[in-house]
A and B are shown apart, each in its own frame.
Chain A
Amino acid sequence: MPETPAVHAAALTVERGPRTVLRNLRFTVQRGRITGLLGPSGCGKSTLMRAIVGTQAKVTGTLDVLGSPAGHPTLRTRIGYVTQHPSVYDDLTVRQNLDYFAAILNPGRSAAARRHDDVTRAITDVDLTSHADALAGNLSGGQRSRVSLAVALLGTPELLVLDEPTVGLDPVLRRDLWALFHDIAATRGATLLVSSHVMDEAERCHRLLLMRDGEILAGGTSRPEAGGETPEALRTRTGTDTVEAAFLHLVDEAAAAGRTKETTR
């Protein structure tokens, strides 16, 4: 096992304008695992992911990614990042999109053969071989988000940060993508941080971080160095059958604690 975790956060706070979007977070993400970042829309998942890839402003506290401070230039080739909305060029074909991003990752004529292999593999990974020469703008929403995912798979990143990669996909595709994620973690040794607001996706993750209102509800509080909680541990601890029920249980618990704090104040 490598000595440092993939992500280590302590007293992590992010402000957007007058609002504190992330409040004093403390958690780790283990290497080589799939960690699910779950929580309702607007709870700060995307902001946390942007902080990890180094595109978020006004981040305070400790945030180390692959052993370096988040946003360090050396991390740019080591992290693959998929934004929530597919960020690809609609007026380029799938292959042209990937060719361009591959050329940014591995510039120069000497890397041309490697780039070509990388692009072909990424297109195969996301199952878009038959659409490789279609304009991204003419694809369906699910297909476009897979192009966006393929871009992140270029260059064999050590850490993949995927913001809601399976939203809006049909069940078969979702299953296939999760199989791909597990394959990437198992055979390429990559770390995956996958966000979702759909709680049933939690069962497919090795570890979980549950978020609500800019705070970590589970997976970061008791033993942050463990790197999230397993779905089983979470269900057992809360005495529930599903991660969704566990989430609700924790929300109620936090609300009750908040009420007592309010009354004693």
Chain B
Amino acid sequence: MSTTTAPAATRALNLSRATATATRVLRQLRHDPRTIALLLLIPCVMLLLLRYVFDGSPRTFDTIGASLLGIFPLITMFLVTSIATLRERTSGTLERLLALPLGKGDLIAGYALAFGALAIVQSALATGLAVWFLGLDINGSPWLLLLVALLDALLGTALGLFVSAFAASEFQAVQFMPAVIFPQLLLCGLFAPRSTMHPVLAGISDVLPMSYAVDGMNEVLHHTDMTGTFVRDVLVVAGCAALVLALGAATLRRRTV
């Protein structure tokens, strides 16, 4: 008999079940090539657009382009995860899964793995295009850009998973995007440096994770080596992702009304 004792199976993260979940999520996406194409192409098209919008001021393109490389994965993974999780809840597959020996951590890790992998491809394409073809001028290593982008994607996945618990329909889930993402977008320093904002808004921006994602990108933009600020930014984004993932896990209930 290969049956493990159930408490151990549900408490600890089971890597096989997590990878099986990740495989399943990616297989679902593979049957939907248009979504994959949109996910991968839109960031590239936007960067291309931006490059020629700021044709006369390459410095502006550098700043905004680098920030967007951090923002894209967050937004797309937020949207994809919130819809995917909502579908899982409404189709009854979540209830079925939680009646099986699947730990909540396995499910969340599976989603994080699948969308993390997708985010790596997305960010690699966008970063590659920006750095090598559009002349995005960064002082640091493109690998560090990719690292921040991956953490942003995980943060987006975490936020999407969390808010999907409060959405009863796809309409509501999509409306959470402006509610959760737009304020962060306005306050993250993309439109105006955070230090020049009204002190109250600057204070708020200090506690929003996207601010650190954008700061991290700008650190790579301006510094050749890994700065202490960069390490702080990365840790904050990673910590927020882990925290929100844990909150998301708490919204998955085995017993529901």
Contact = CB atoms under 8 A, between A and B. Distances in A.
Of B93, B102, B254, most buried by chain A (CB within 10 Å of CB) is: B93
A54 B24 contact: no
Of A16, A90, A107, most buried by chain B (CB within 10 Å of CB) is: A107
A55 B98 contact: yes
B31 interface: yes
Contacts of A87: 91-93, 95-96
Contact of A71 (B14, B27, B254): B254
A89 B96 contact: no
Given A77-B6, A89-B24, A105 B254 contact: no
A74 B96 contact: no
Interface in B90-114: 91-93, 95-102
A76 B257 contact: no
Contact of A73 (B14, B27, B95, B101): B101
A107 B255 contact: no
Given A55-B255, A57-B256, A73-B101, A92 B92 contact: no
A55 B95 contact: yes
B257 A107 contact: no
B20 A57 contact: no
Interface of A: 16-17, 53-59, 71-74, 76-77, 79, 81, 83, 85-92, 96, 100-101, 103-111, 135, 151
Given A73-B9, A76-B100, 12 more contacts: A54-B254, A55-B99, A56-B255, A74-B6, A77-B3, A100-B23, A104-B20, A104-B21, A104-B100, A104-B102, A107-B14, A109-B16
Interface of B: 2-3, 5-7, 9-10, 14, 16-17, 20-21, 23-24, 27-28, 31-32, 91-93, 95-102, 253-257
Going nearest first, the 5 A-B pairs with the smallest beta carbon separation are A87-B92, A107-B16, A103-B20, A73-B6, A57-B255
